[in-house]
Each structure stands twice: as structure tokens, then as C-alpha cells.
Amino acid sequence: MKITVKLGDQAETMVDIPEEKAIDTFLKVVRDLHMAKGFVSTRDTIVNTIPAIKPNMDTEKGVVEIAKNIDQVREYVKNNNLIFWKCPECGRVQYSFAKADESKRCINCDYEQEFKNIKPAAYVCPKCNASSYLFVVDGLEQIPCKFCKADIDLVWHEKQEKYVSPNMLK
Ligand SMILES: [Zn+2]
Ligand SMILES: [Zn+2]
């Protein structure tokens, strides 16, 4: 299945993907486009962007299928979390879009990570000022900024019961 995603005249990308991975990959493409163009890519902005992208989509069969299933895509976004995790096998820090009890494979070494113990997290990047809400697999205390890749430290905030970047501590 070929998917083309366009953000107005600003960005366009095409991927060829297996059918069963279509929604997952579609969301990754949307997020990567957001990132490349400096949009803040949160669960909400992804949900809000999908209808805006829809009229600009290519008429490839696969895209039409996805456009038809836009409610399914929205539901998927609502029910899945952006989870940052570090592969225990090869050490690669990466993110997945998944449910709390799901598992995903490492993009580098194919290790299968279960997302059993996830905690909410938020950061404001000291370098590019982007902010993001996400989840981390317990114990992950440094992640790359989704936008500029700067290292972000995360510390546990007792009161808010989530990890935050140090500049969010009061
Ligand atoms: Zn790995
Ligand atoms: Zn940044």
C-alpha cells in the first residue's frame, strides 16, 4: 500500500507499507512531517491535523482507504500513547505509539519491548522551546527532544505524579 501525505505546499512524503501496519505508519509519517516543519506534534494536534490533510491527499487507493477510515484512525490516536523507551538489548532510545499493555519491536535490533510500566511525562525543551506530553517506560530519565533532538533530562515530580524536565519544576 502506497501512502502519500501532504501538508499544504510545505511538505510531502510517500511511503510504501504493508497493509496491516498502515495506520501505525500513517501516524508516524504525520508526526515526522510535523517535526520536520516545526509543528508541535501531540496527540491532539495529530487528531486535529488529520482532517486538514485529508483533502490534500493523493488519490492512491491506499490513501482513500485510510481517508475512509479516518474515524478509526482518530480512535487509534485517542487510545494509544506516545511512549518513549530505551531498548534494553541495544540501548536505542525510541518512541512508539502503543497501548499500555502492548509490545513493540525495537527499530534497531528487533527486541520485543512490553509497555507494562509506563509513567506520564512532560517537557519543555530548553533549546528549541517545544513542549510535549508523553509516556516513558519506567526508569527512562533522558530522552531526545522530538523536534531538535537535544537531550532532555526527566525528573520525577511527586506532586504531579509524572516525570518533568527540570525547567518545569516549581
Ligand atoms: Zn534494540
Ligand atoms: Zn528541542
Alpha carbon dihedral 41, 104, 163, 42, in 10-degree steps, equals 10
What pLDDT shows up at residue 20?
60
Which protein residues have a CB closer than 5 Å to ligand 2 (ion)?
A: 125, 127-128, 130, 145, 147-148, 150
Among the bound ligands, name the one nearest to the CA of residue 125: 2
Distance (angstroms) between ligand 2 centre and the Cα of 72 equals 31
DSSP 57: S
Distance (angstroms) between ligand 2 centre and the Cα of 64 equals 34
What pLDDT shows up at residue 152?
95
Among the bound ligands, name the one nearest to the CA of residue 127: 2
Cβ pair 45, 33 in contact under 8 A: no
Distance, in Å, from the CA atom of 140 to the CA atom of 21, rounded to the nearest integer, reads 27
Distance, in Å, from the CA atom of 85 to the CA atom of 18, rounded to the nearest integer, reads 24
The structural domains of the chain, with segments of one domain joined by +, span 2-79, 81-168
What pLDDT shows up at residue 133?
83
What pLDDT shows up at residue 46?
54
Distance (angstroms) between ligand 2 centre and the Cα of 24 equals 24
Among the bound ligands, name the one nearest to the CA of residue 112: 1
Which protein residues have a CB closer than 5 Å to ligand 1 (ion)?
A: 87, 89-90, 92, 106, 108-109, 111
What pLDDT shows up at residue 56?
39
What pLDDT shows up at residue 59?
38
Cβ pair 169, 149 in contact under 8 A: no
Among the bound ligands, name the one nearest to the CA of residue 108: 1
Cβ pair 14, 4 in contact under 8 A: yes
With a cut of 50, which residues of the chain have pLDDT below it? 50-64
